[in-house]
Amino acid sequence: MSVLLQHVNTNEQMVSRALLTPEELMRMPASDEIVFVSGHAPIYCQKIIYYTDPNLSKRCAIPPPAMSFSSAAETAQAISRAVGAINGGSAIRQSD
């Protein structure tokens, strides 16, 4: 057997590979996502579909503001009204 293995060469090589290729990214399910946050490793996770989640769908009922607020007090009152609408009318009372 040693006669046959005298002329055998082996070679190992380290080759770098992209973590995720464009083709693999295109084949990723629509329900999954990759979140990139500066200074952290990428996060592979499942998307939350806000309009099917009962808690998040309540936030969809809040109308957008008609105009910007002129003071911090007006902003706090508007936020309090919106929170009260979400919680079923139990708004946080602001003292003036």
Q: How confident is the model over 44-58, as pLDDT tens digits?
A: 999 988 888 888 888
- Which DSSP state fits 61? T
- Residue 96: the pLDDT is 46
3-state DSSP assignment of residue 46: strand
Contact 6, 12 (CB under 8 A): no
Cα separation, 30 vs 4, in Å, equals: 54
- Residue 20: the pLDDT is 85
> Taking the domains of the chain in order of start, what are their residue ranges?
22-86
Cα separation, 87 vs 73, in Å, equals: 21
- The structure tokens listed for 75 are 């902003």
- Residue 7: the pLDDT is 74
- The structure tokens listed for 26 are 């295109």
- Residue 10: the pLDDT is 81
The residue type found at 21 is: T
**Residue ranges, the chain, pLDDT below 70:** 1-5, 67-70, 89-96
